[in-house]
Amino acid sequence: MGKLDGKVAVITAATSGMALATAKLFVEEGAYVFITGRRQDALDKAVKSIGRNVIGVQGDAGVLADLDRLYDVVKRQKGHIDILFASAGMGEFAKIGEVTEEGFDKTFGLNVRGTLFTVQKALPLFNEGGSIIMNGSIAGIKGMPSLGVYSASKAAVRSFARTWLLELKDRNIRVNVLSPGTIDTPLLEGFGSEGKEALRSQIPRGTMGRPEEIATAALFLASSDSSFVNGIELFVDGGTAQV
């Protein structure tokens, strides 16, 4: 018997890395999963890799019309949602003197605006006692040069959780933030070997996290194992932000 037997989950931006690993684990634990991705080819590949109990819906979490289409598919196929993992996010490197209006709007448009409406538009379908998980980052509590806009956007997501758990308490919907540290995903390839080594050296345990380690933390927050856990920011970072 799986921890998520009979549950319906929605995971945005789940074509690779942490979110894809989470979708796979949720299905293994008994859930039916809807995943999104901006590129149809990557989405089709992700659906094939998950293999069963999954529907892919092409779309951008920062585009409200795409979110409406996602939830229309969920409503027609399953009629309700038990778990939402609002995973979509992005960031750009720019020191304060280099930040552009376009760059700011892109980051806040997806990380903050997109997360807000991903959650808001899911609520009419949410079962009582459901679980909302939002993707944070250790950058939300650490000073990281050139990541000020990204860090601020993740701090905003953390703030959402504190407010929304109170607004949704009558429906017993829990709201938590999952904040990864440095995870070994394809996104790190742009750092090069020296950059990756510099990131690894900051992790107390001495190795980067794996996507599967984020997935097991997401499973905890999604399942009844965390029934008394609400409004937290769960750091899965090997200790990086804790020292």
Q: What is the 3-state secondary structure (H, E, C) of 96-115?
A: HHHCCHHHHHHHHHHHHHHH
Using DSSP, state whether 119 is helix, strand or coil.
helix
Establish if 243 belongs to a structural domain. Answer: no
> pLDDT tens digits, residue range 15-28?
999 999 999 999 99
Establish if 52 belongs to a structural domain. Answer: yes
109: CATH: 3.40.50.720
Range list of β-strands (E), the chain: 8-11, 32-37, 54-58, 81-86, 126-135, 174-180, 233-236
Establish if 124 belongs to a structural domain. Answer: yes
Establish if 60 belongs to a structural domain. Answer: yes
Q: How many domains does the chain have?
A: 1
Establish if 242 belongs to a structural domain. Answer: no
Q: Is the pLDDT of residue 190 over 70?
A: no
Which domain covers residue 140, as residue numbers? 8-235
> pLDDT tens digits, residue range 75-96?
999 999 999 999 999 989 899 9
Contacts of 16 by beta carbon, 8 Å cutoff, 6+ apart: 42, 46, 185, 186
> pLDDT tens digits, residue range 209-240?
999 999 999 999 999 999 999 999 999 999 99
Q: pTM of this prediction?
A: 0.95
Residues annotated as part of the active site? 150
The Cα–Cα gap between 46 and 20 comes to 7
Q: How many degrees, rounded to 5, is the angle at CA 99 between CA 243 and CA 155?
A: 40
Query: How many of the other CB atoms lie within 10 Å of CB of 62?
Result: 23
Establish if 2 belongs to a structural domain. Answer: no
The Cα–Cα gap between 75 and 37 comes to 19
